[in-house]
Structure 1
Amino acid sequence: MRVNEKLRAIRQSKGITQKFVAKSLGIHTATYNGYELGRRKIHVELLKDIAEVLDEPIQNFFENKIYESKNYYDKKSHTA
């Protein structure tokens, strides 16, 4: 789930309207709607403000994926 999709899901789960969030942020409802639809990029500072309005930790807007780092160290070429 993308950040904009999580944004909408979290807001709706709390029963908060787009209008309320937009007004709290001092932006137009249409602008906020663009963030939820993925038509506008959400910068980290704005996401932080949205998280505060929704009373939600900012980490909850990001996917919980752990990526394995590949080890490019070649043991054969580095042995004594």
Structure 2
Amino acid sequence: MTLKKLREVRISQGKSQTFMAKKLGYKYASGYANIEMGRTKPSLEKAKEISEILGVEVNELFFDKKLHISSKNTNTA
């Protein structure tokens, strides 16, 4: 997970960890802070929520390499 990217995007948008935590339904800011610090990994659902709040694609926030879907058909039957 590119935690540095997650933090940078959040800060660049002027959003606090407390804001993010509340939007995600955490009782305390530490719930979100733990994700940013790498102590806990978010579920796919939480990752999607975070990306929606920040307006950035999930892949850009949570994966080091670009993911792509190949449209090549490998079956030649």
Q: TM-score when scaled to structure 1?
A: 0.70
Q: Distance in 1 between matches of 2:15 and 2:60?
A: 17
Corresponding residue of 1:21: 20
Larger radius of gyration: 1
User: Cα distance, 1:31 vs. partner?
Assistant: 1.0
- Counting only pairs closer than 5 Å after superposition, residues 1-80 of structure 1 correspond to structure 2 as 2-27=1-26, 28-61=28-61, 62-64=63-65
Distance in 1, Cα, partners of 2:53 & 2:45: 13
Q: Mark the runs of 5 or more structure 2 residues left unpaired by the alignment.
A: 68-77
Contact 2:17 2:33 in 1 (8 A): yes
Deviations 1:36-78 (A, max 9, x none): 0001112221110001111112121122358xxxxxxxxxxxx
Structure 1 stretches of 4+ with a deviation exceeding 4 A read: none
Q: 1:57/1:65 Cα in 2 relative to 1: closer, same or farther (>3 Å)?
A: closer
User: Which residue identity is paired with 2:16?
Assistant: T
Q: For structure 1, list consecutive stretches of 5 or more residues without a partner in the other structure.
A: 67-80
Identity %: 37
Count matched residues: 65
RMSD across aligned positions (CA) = 1.7
